[in-house]
Amino acid sequence: MLLDLFLWLILMAASVLRRRVKRGWVWNQFFVLEEYMGLEPLYIGKLHSDMDKGDGSIRYILMGEGAGTTFTIDDSTGDIHAIQRLDREFKSQYVLRAQARNRLTDRPLEPESEFIVKIQDINDNEPRFEDGPYVASVPEMSKIGTSVIQVTATDADDPTYGNSARVIYSILEGQPYFSVDAKTGVVRVSLADMDREIRENYTVVIQAKDMGGQLGGLAGTTTVNITLSDINDNPPTFDQRLYQMSVPESAPVGTVVGRIWASDRDTGVNAHMRYSIVDGDGRDTFDISTDPAPLDFETKLSYTLKVEGANTVVDPASRHRASFRDVTIVHVSIEDVDEPPVFDLPEYYVELPEDAEIGTVLKAVSARDPDAANHTVRYSIDKGSDLEKFFYIELTTGALMTVRALDREELGWHNITVLAMEMNNPTKISSVSVAIKVLDVNDNAPTLSHYLETFVCENAKAGQLIQAVTALDPDDPLGGHRFHYSLAPEAQNNPNFTLRDNQGIDTRHQYHPLLEHNRIKLNSHLN
């Protein structure tokens, strides 16, 4: 006897052709969408034997992967259903076997045959930056287009089906200083002549969005903390245009007449310099020496020098009497200079849910006085970085806390500057950047996108689609939105109309709401 297998694909405008094969099943690779969340089991297909007269004498059985646990079959009708949620990222296909048997004798009426149910992907995974947050540096004054770093986001959805795993990068924070290549994720300089001596640190927020960046795609973000490294772009500058010095005429050669000093806004080796006399009527009388390295009281408190004096002309006959040279020890003590406090981190990054209670402590920043005196440090927030006064910092402990309610839908990021000041010398101040990301909580109810006024003909057929409604929600949950629709209580008893819910199909979104459609159908003709 011959058996036919039918597959009714859910949410697909395709059907599987039925054909007959002698002593075998008609099979194909059956495609079913993942993440079905309806209240009723998902209908997969139907087994039927030509010998089935509808009297219940034939029993259909299902075997293989997931048979009895994920898939069930009605042994009388041959209907196959999925009774568990299917997740392509967990298992992409199932191999099943089917057979028809005589219910009384259990004798096979057909050899068992094998078929495959393939789980088709939907966009239910947002891109993730596995290596974030990132830290990078780029030389100051770099040209526009200079590469800084490449960020990479991965998407667990199927890259071979649709655009669910096609990631597009964009920059949410950090313009106009930096840009990101939409396809490669390479962060580049987008503003010329950025000067480290004016601003050294930048926080850039990068978004990766799937579905090719289209409306409704899922998104993930990461931060890139970029530091401008120093180049030698500042000349030395003397603190005076004219120095007045005097020296006794009796001063021996080598006497220190005075000290001049030039400052350089660069750092490290770019700030090292040498001094020389290039002109004047005293070029043969005076000399100038350059300090080989800067002095640091906290690194080395003193230096010990061994100085030798020797005659330049020695009588050969007297060489055996003495060495005609002598040595002495010179001890030089370094005096301490007051320096500003130093933070334990170059920048801080904090995440905080938007429903955090007022007074919640985000982070405790810490700075110390690098000087030997180790004076007490006091903390404050730069008023210009927190104009709306969302945060407060405890004066002595550095504990940063909220003083106003946060709302991610209004402001998702806060970038504030914390100041540290020495108690005994208020002129010694240091600053550090604190980037605060506000995490989403489900604090907004979905709303219908617009008011609808619908007309229908009086001879409309039952089941006819007359209107699709949409809803949106400004929240951004990690699990995505799942909207459920129903008629208002005053309309539920109307026998002429019904609303078909979308059965919880995933409608995640990141920064733009994804509209979810439902259908309103007529149950019967209008009188």
**pLDDT tens for residues 457-487?**
877 777 777 777 777 778 777 666 777 777 7
- Are 362 and 391 in contact by the 8 Å Cβ rule? The answer is yes
- Residues 324-332: what's their mean pLDDT? 55
Could you count the other beta carbons within 10 Å of the beta carbon of residue 50?
A: 13
Task: Write the burial class of residue 269 (CB in 10 Å: 0-12 exposed, 13-18 middle, 19+ buried).
Answer: exposed
353-397 pLDDT, tens digit each: 999 999 999 999 999 998 878 889 999 999 999 999 999 999 999
Could you count the other beta carbons within 10 Å of the beta carbon of residue 517?
A: 13
223-248 pLDDT, tens digit each: 999 999 998 887 887 777 777 877 67
**Torsions phi, psi for 223 (to 5 deg):** -115, 145
pLDDT of residue 208: 94
**At 384, is the secondary structure helix, strand, or coil?**
helix
Give the Cα separation of 222 and 150 in Å (integer). Answer: 12
- Residues 179-199: what's their mean pLDDT? 94
Residue 332 pLDDT grade (very low, low, confident, very high; cuts 50, 70, 90): low
Residues 6 or more apart in contact with residue 255 via CB below 8 angstroms: 247
pLDDT of residue 99: 86
- Are 352 and 436 in contact by the 8 Å Cβ rule? The answer is yes
Q: Which of 222, 209, 1 is nearest to 102 (CA)?
A: 1
Q: Count of H helices and E strands in the chain? A: 0, 33
- Are 94 and 64 in contact by the 8 Å Cβ rule? The answer is yes
The neighbouring-strand residues paired with 147 are 188
Residue 61, phi-psi category: left (phi > 0), alpha (psi -120 to 50), beta (remainder): beta
**At 317, is the secondary structure helix, strand, or coil?**
helix
**Single pTM value for the model:** 0.54
Residue 201 pLDDT grade (very low, low, confident, very high; cuts 50, 70, 90): very high
Give the Cα separation of 222 and 200 in Å (integer). Answer: 20
Give the Cα separation of 315 and 239 in Å (integer). Answer: 49
422-431 pLDDT, tens digit each: 988 888 999 9
Q: Which of 44, 51, 74 is nearest to 3 (CA)?
A: 51
Of all residues in the chain, the percent with pLDDT exceeding 70 is 77
- Residues 324-346: what's their mean pLDDT? 72
Could you count the other beta carbons within 10 Å of the beta carbon of residue 35?
A: 19
Strand order in the sheet with 465-469: 465-469, 518-522, 497-500
**At 318, is the secondary structure helix, strand, or coil?**
helix
Give the Cα separation of 159 and 148 in Å (integer). Answer: 28
Distances (CA, A) of 76 to 22, 59, 60, 69: 23, 6, 7, 19
Q: What is the CA radius of gyration of the chain?
A: 39
52-89 pLDDT, tens digit each: 788 888 898 889 898 888 889 888 888 888 888 888 77
- Are 212 and 233 in contact by the 8 Å Cβ rule? The answer is no
Distances (CA, A) of 393 to 370, 376, 383: 22, 16, 12
pLDDT of residue 123: 76
Q: Which residue has the tokens 């004047």?
A: 280
Strands of 302-451 (E only): list them.
302-310, 325-333, 342-343, 347-353, 361-364, 367-368, 377-381, 391-393, 399-402, 413-422, 429-439, 447-448
The neighbouring-strand residues paired with 406 are none
- Are 356 and 212 in contact by the 8 Å Cβ rule? The answer is no
